[in-house]
Amino acid sequence: MILARRPIAGKLTFLALNLAILALIVLGLLAPAWRMVEERMVAVAEKGEVLARYQQIAAAEGQASTYARQIRDRNVQGGLIEGGNEGAASASLQARLQSAAESEGAVVRSLSALPSRALGQGQMIGARVEYAGTLAAVTRTIHKIEAGPALLVVTAASLRPRREARIGSAEEPQVDAQLDVYGGFKEARP
């Protein structure tokens, strides 16, 4: 009986040894292939992220083109401050700032010209204006300045409470605001 079992044990040992060798060969061949598949999956994911960023840029390009068209249309319709010279354009800017305050219920306390700035081939003229009034009136005035037909930009602003609003009071808080406003300048051609 012992002799009869040995051929089965030998066959099992032979089979187990061959299976182990086959597993090592398969793992030796499949492991590099699996690593290569994983690396390619990571590369595909990275390229997907890059593609998503490019799609965002392409979408923003459309928005930028729309904004550029709006600016061009504003310039055609008077987006730049025109004047015979820099002084006349500065006076026009100051008049616009004064009228914006008056139409929104704010009071102009001070208005003065700022030095002009070069901007590419153009020039920006500026004014410093101090407003007083309710917070709502000053806020509406600032919105009107930036949303008006002239392309005006608030480059600096400070807001200070003029007097404290009482708790429980229906009275709106009073503020003083100081703004530096610049606009594109275009000399009128004769």
Residues with Cβ < 8 Å from 21, sequence gap 6 or more?
none
Asked if 171 and 113 count as a contact pair (C-beta separation under 8 A), the reply is no
Could you tell me how far CA 83 lies from the centroid of its own chain?
33
pLDDT digits (tens, 9 = 90+) for 100-146: 899 989 999 999 999 988 877 778 899 999 999 988 899 899 888 88
Asked if 181 and 141 count as a contact pair (C-beta separation under 8 A), the reply is no
Q: What residue segments make up the domains of the chain, in order of their start?
A: 1-77, 81-187
Nearest to 138 by CA among 110, 101, 92, 96: 101
pLDDT for 1: 43
Asked if 122 and 147 count as a contact pair (C-beta separation under 8 A), the reply is no
Residue type at position 174:
Q
pLDDT for 187: 67
Spell out, as residue ranges, where the chain has pLDDT lower than 50.
1-3
User: Model pTM?
Assistant: 0.55
pLDDT for 75: 57
pLDDT for 84: 75
CATH of range 81-187; options 3.30.70.60, 3.30.70.360, 1.20.1630.10, 3.90.1150.10: 3.30.70.60
